[in-house]
Structures are given as structure tokens and as C-alpha cells.
Structure 1
Amino acid sequence: MPASLVQTFRAFAYNNTWANHRLLAACGSLGQTEFAAARTGFFPSLQATLNHIHVIDLFYVDALEGGWLGPKAWANEVPYPAVAALQAAQGAIDQRLIAHCDALTPERLDEVVKVNRDSSVQTERRDRLLMHLFQHQIHHRGQAHAMLSETTVKPPQLDEFFAAGEAPLRAAEFKDLGWSEATVWGG
């Protein structure tokens, strides 16, 4: 049976959480100095890049939930200087995104979401906003992945989540996250 669009967004939310979990776990092997060290990228360090992912996730997830946080989300561009604190905060926002996607219906995908931009209110269909959010996360995780390759820590594999043959490799991590294949894929 083909997956519904709702199931596809759910799977993207789980994949997002898994990729963040893997990337931040790898960064946890770095010392604080190496995590904050200047590197080539859109943002100047792993610390800045991964905090950017977090604050933008906070901005959009709040809007998807009907909140009005707006640009206050990034008032502090690096709210979590240490990896452990960032990992906990990112895990919490990722769980909110999963909960949001778990509650989706086909009708809700067509709903308009209002996004507080302080000087204006952006209106966007929920499905389009979710697509933008997932693309943003993938884009910046790729940059962080490249930065990590400049360290002594091997960057983790981030692109095998959907491959059925990789299920045994995911099992332990899914268990750590409190999931099973059925949690992600249904049935």
C-alpha cells in the first residue's frame, strides 16, 4: 500500500530526530574547544551551526503549534554552547515536531499557518512550511557533517534511514530513542 503524504511527513520528522541524534552524539566525542573551533561553513563552527538548527526549529515548530514566539527564538544565537545541553534541547524540540506530525491529517496539511516575523505575519500552508523546515535542517546538518570531517571524530552516516536493508543498524539507536520500526512506519 502506498504511503500517504501524512505518513511521509511523519517519517521525515522521525528521520530528522534520528539524524540530529547521530550527529550530536558524534559531536559529544569532541572537546568543548574543538566543538566551538572556527571552521569553514555558512556558520563559523559546529557549535554555531548546530545551535542555528535548534533555534530555527524552535521558531518554526512554535509557529506550527500556533505559537507567536517569532524572531525571539534566535535572540541568543548560541543558547547551548555545550554539546550535552544542546543535545537535550534539540531532542526536546525534535519530539515536539514528531508530536506535531503524528497529529497531522490530510486536511491539516492544507491549513494556513501564521508565522510571526515581527514586522509582518507570513501565512504559509502547513505542508509547505514543513517541507521548508525539513530542507533547512538537512541543508545545515550537511554543513555540520562536513565540518565534523575536519576533526578527529568520524562523521556518522546520515542518509540510510529509509533503506530497509539498514534496519539492523538502526535497531539499537531506535531503542535508545524509544522507537521501533513500527513506531516510524506504522503497523
Structure 2
Amino acid sequence: MSEKSQCVLLAEYNRLMNGRIIEASAGLSVAGLAEDKGAFFSSVIGTLNHIMIGDILWLKRFASHPSAYVSLEPLSKIKKPDRLDLVLFADLSVFAEEREVLDSIIIAWCADLKEVDLDQPLGYTSHNGERHKKRMGDLVLHMFLHQVHHRGQITTLLSQAGIDFGETDLPEIVPDEV
């Protein structure tokens, strides 16, 4: 499987898991969503928003790639978050709509990715102002792993609230070989 194919698979997995985590989170009250549970980003809604912020920051960095992916142009309308702990959308239904838009951008971009670009370095400035130049394919993988990491925290919070999230394994969407 090519690296691009893996990105496409992870983008689809990301959309599926985001839909499921939002659906499961809907089992909490508004207060339950916002309740500080001692997680890295405090609450379920805080952690959901942090995942979105990470995606926005990484996608904006990827949009600076010389290949100028048209599929990332919608990001120009999205303001760059200035903090990692912002709650961009406190209302879960509004969050869900914005998450769906962002997931569609990720899927379109992964479909457009060029394998050669994944092997090239991408220069960027981190959120704390440090300058880096790293292989783009590794950074894309990091974006997906960041999502998985924090969704895992949310599934723990949901489990503690008595909500069973269900299946989270990638092989669920990996096609069977014939």
C-alpha cells in the first residue's frame, strides 16, 4: 500500500470515528460535555475542540506546500486558532457541522495528495514559535495520530460516564483481500 493510500484510509477512518465520537458524546448533557474531568483539555467538548484546532493548524501548514493543493483552499476562510485550548464550538451540534466540513476537506486533500510531496520536507513554525523542516508524510501521519490519541481520551471519559463508544479498530474499514 502506498503512503498516499494510507493517508486516504486514515482520512476515512478519521471521519468515521469523528462521527461516532460526536454521536456518543450526544449522550451527555450540555453540562456533562463541558464538565472538567481532569483531561489534558479539561472536558469532552474541550478535547473535541482541541482535535479540531490541531487539524486546522496542520492543514494550514500543509496548505503552504509549493504544490498549492486546491482542496485546502477552503481553509483560507478559517481563522488560525491562537491557543490549543480554545473552545471554538461549545454547542455539540454546531461542532458536528464544522467537524464534518473539516473532515470533508481532509478527505479531498488526501485524495489529491501526490506521493512525491509526501517525501518532501515541509517548513513550518510550531505553535510556540519554533521553526522546523520535516518530511511531510511524517507530519501527515502525526496529524492522524494526534486525532487518535485525543479521541482515545474522549472514549475514556465517555466510558467513565457509562457510555460505550464501541469499535475503534482500523481493520473494521480495511478492505478484505481477495
Provide the TM-score with structure 2 as the length reference.
0.81
1:60 to 58, 61, 69: 58
The alignment status of 1:73 with 2:81, answered yes or no, reads: yes
**Residue 174 of structure 1 corresponds to which residue in structure 2?**
none
**Residue 42 of structure 1 corresponds to which residue in structure 2?**
40
The alignment status of 1:108 with 2:124, answered yes or no, reads: no
**Residue 4 of structure 2 corresponds to which residue in structure 1?**
6
The alignment status of 1:141 with 2:139, answered yes or no, reads: no
Deviation of 1:120 (Å): 4.3
Contact 1:35–1:45 (CA<8 Å) still a contact in 2? yes
Q: How many residues align?
A: 163
**Percent pairwise identity:** 25
Deviation of 1:100 (Å): 1.3
SS in 2 for 1:73: coil
Contact 2:55–2:143 (CA<8 Å) still a contact in 1? yes
- Cα RMSD of the aligned pairs, angstroms, is 2.5
Provide the TM-score with structure 1 as the length reference.
0.77
Q: Describe the superposition over 1:131-152 as per-residue Cα deviations: whole angstroms up to 9, x where unpaired.
A: 1111111110000100011224
What is the alpha-carbon distance in structure 1 between the residues aligned to residue 172 and residue 88 of structure 2?
34
Deviation of 1:99 (Å): 1.3
SS in 1 for 2:133: strand
**What amino acid does structure 1 have at the position aligned with 2:4?**
V
Deviation of 1:105 (Å): 2.2
What is the alpha-carbon distance in structure 1 between the residues aligned to residue 172 and residue 42 of structure 2?
33
What is the alpha-carbon distance in structure 2 between the residues aligned to residue 74 and residue 15 of structure 1?
27
SS in 1 for 2:81: helix
Deviation of 1:29 (Å): 2.5
**Residue 172 of structure 2 corresponds to which residue in structure 1?**
163
Moved over 6 A (4+): none
**What amino acid does structure 1 have at the position aligned with 2:137?**
D
